[in-house]
Chains A and B, each alone.
Chain A
Amino acid sequence: MSRSDDGIVIVGASAAGLSAADGLREGGYTGPITLMDEEVEPGYDRPMLSKGLLAAKDTEPAALRTSDQLAAKGIDLLGGHGAVGLDVDRRLVVTSWGEAIPWEHVVLATGVAARPLVTTDGTPLPTLRTRADLATARSLAAGGRPVTLVGAGFIGLEVAAALRSRGVEVRVLSGCELPLASLVGDQVAGWLHQLHLAHGATFELGVPTASVTETAAGYDIHLADGRVRHAATVLAGIGTDPCTDWLIGSGVALDGGAVTDPAGRTNVPGVWAAGDVASTPDARLGRPRRFEHWTHAIEQGRSVGLNIARRDAVPYDAVPFVWTEQYGYTVHLLGERRPGDTDVVVEGHVTDGDFVVAHADAGELHGVTICGRVRALRVFKKLLRSGASLDDALSAATPA
């Protein structure tokens, strides 16, 4: 029985899902495309949530596509429709409204959710991942009370910087000794940390948070060493989890995400995954891994769409790329620093916020961290893609 009339269902309408839809049309697919998402108004500029949007008071996140753009490409968007189950035998997605939507191919692009930090009374603390979270975070910012951030990853630090720009008193708690050090090296991480201190953020590092209890005045944060910190308000940035609960028992292999081959195919024929939720083989780690990078979601999503449309299985491979904005500085990370890497300043000066730092081991270039030199990105991306050495990076650099 041909199911070709059933078309393609894409679950998740953010960067990866929208790009998969575009890739399908770009690849010549002319059948029906249904994009569904649990958010009522999905598909917006998510990177800006923790950056300029939190710093601003009322600007709404920009939509990634207009309804006219979607209509012109014949893409049906079902907002407010979460997926609650996948039936791989009858080829159906079951929605939160109880509908069963048939598919010839389905793309899992449900992304990740902010990992909840829940008080001992069972209240989940605010996080920042979605449009709705932005409203909560803004009300914290507008409330005038000090904000304690649990977690010092990209989200925690960007939120700290955005809140400081609004004059909010900010304290950051983290189990790590120096935020982002494993990703950018000690020198850049130290500079960023100093930047936060100079802007009045305070830190308590090196001791993880054990639990949070609710009090009359707010919260008590119990640190792992037994100390307690009082907090008026708390926002958690302690990581993310892939949105795969709805796939448990479906037959799709799950291992820290929906496991795919390099082309984006899961173990079930007709079922693909793209973006943050997709866990792809990593030869170096010897296990599947996910990327939570904006451009990765877009390019890998498009690649999956093209593969489906062209009945192809072209592997997707690109240099990892992520950026963060703090206090007006944009820091770009290309490739990936590995534990034990030496960090070499190949251009500029770190303390000036104008630099290119290479991360390498035994002359092998693994990653580059760039600030204030956005034009250098293209050069170093090409070097990383070609498997260049630290010497190549040094020769490509424009000194000072």
Chain B
Amino acid sequence: MTSVKVDPGRCTAYGLCVGIHPEVFNVPPGSPIAVVTREVLTPDDLEDVQEAIRACPAQALTLVEG
């Protein structure tokens, strides 16, 4: 099982991750950070989630295995 987590200490709600994969990430109105809306990633999610991890200017996203 693979998931992605947001480091609340680093995230500044740029929202680039939401633009790359809106089914996995969201920045709810008023939220200071992005939230993960799909706890368990599917194999189809991985490519876009990895792009989001690379793109994050705050480097706030990490892939978690198991």
Chain A residues positioned under 8 Å from B57 (CB to CB): 45-48, 62, 64, 294
Q: Interface size (A, Cβ < 8 Å)?
A: 24
Q: How many A-B residue pairs have CB under 8 A?
A: 54
- Do A62 and B59 touch across chains, with their CB atoms under 8 A apart? yes
The 0/1 profile, CB within 8 Å of B marked 1, for residues 30-57 of chain A is: 0000000000000001111000100000
Chain A at the B interface: mostly helix, strand, loop or mixed? helix
Whole-angstrom CA separation of A19 from B20 in the bound complex? 18
Instruction: Tell me the residues in window 352-394 of chain A with beta carbons closer than 8 Å to chain B beta carbons.
Output: 374-375, 377-378, 381
Interface residue A290 (Cβ < 8 Å from any Cβ of B):
no
Rounded to whole Å, the gap between the CB of B55 and the closest CB of chain A is 5
* Neighbour of A378 across the interface among B19, B27, B59, CB < 8 A: B19
Chain B residues positioned under 8 Å from A378 (CB to CB): 19-22, 48
- Do B16 and A62 touch across chains, with their CB atoms under 8 A apart? no
Whole-angstrom CA separation of A300 from B8 in the bound complex? 28
Which of A294, A378, A381 neighbours the largest number of chain B CB atoms within 10 Å of its CB?
A: A378
The 0/1 profile, CB within 8 Å of A marked 1, for residues 14-39 of chain B is: 11101111100001000000000000
Chain A residues positioned under 8 Å from B27 (CB to CB): 374
Given A52-B12, A62-B10, A62-B59, do A332 and B19 touch, yes or no (CB 8 Å)?
yes
Rounded to whole Å, the gap between the CB of A6 and the closest CB of chain B is 27
Chain B at the A interface: mostly helix, strand, loop or mixed? loop
- Do A62 and B58 touch across chains, with their CB atoms under 8 A apart? yes
- Do A294 and B55 touch across chains, with their CB atoms under 8 A apart? yes
Chain B residues positioned under 8 Å from A374 (CB to CB): 15, 18-19, 22, 27
Rounded to whole Å, the gap between the CB of A362 and the closest CB of chain B is 28
Whole-angstrom CA separation of A377 from B25 in the bound complex? 13
Whole-angstrom CA separation of A377 from B29 in the bound complex? 17
Chain A residues positioned under 8 Å from B18 (CB to CB): 374-375, 377
Interface residue A298 (Cβ < 8 Å from any Cβ of B):
yes
- Do A19 and B54 touch across chains, with their CB atoms under 8 A apart? yes
- Do B59 and A295 touch across chains, with their CB atoms under 8 A apart? no
Chain B residues positioned under 8 Å from A63 (CB to CB): 59
- Do A377 and B19 touch across chains, with their CB atoms under 8 A apart? yes
Whole-angstrom CA separation of A381 from B18 in the bound complex? 13
Whole-angstrom CA separation of A89 from B15 in the bound complex? 45
Rounded to whole Å, the gap between the CB of A331 and the closest CB of chain B is 12
Q: List 19 A-B residue pairs with CB atoms under 8 Å apart, sorted by A's residue number.
A: A45-B59, A48-B58, A62-B12, A62-B57, A63-B59, A64-B57, A64-B59, A295-B55, A298-B55, A299-B51, A323-B16, A374-B19, A374-B22, A374-B27, A375-B18, A375-B19, A377-B18, A377-B22, A378-B22
Binding site for B on A (CB under 8 A): 19, 22, 45-48, 52, 62-65, 294-295, 298-299, 302, 323, 330, 332, 374-375, 377-378, 381
Q: Identify 6 new A-B residue pairs, CB closer than 8 A, beyond the known A299-B55, A378-B19.
A: A47-B14, A62-B12, A64-B57, A294-B57, A375-B19, A381-B19
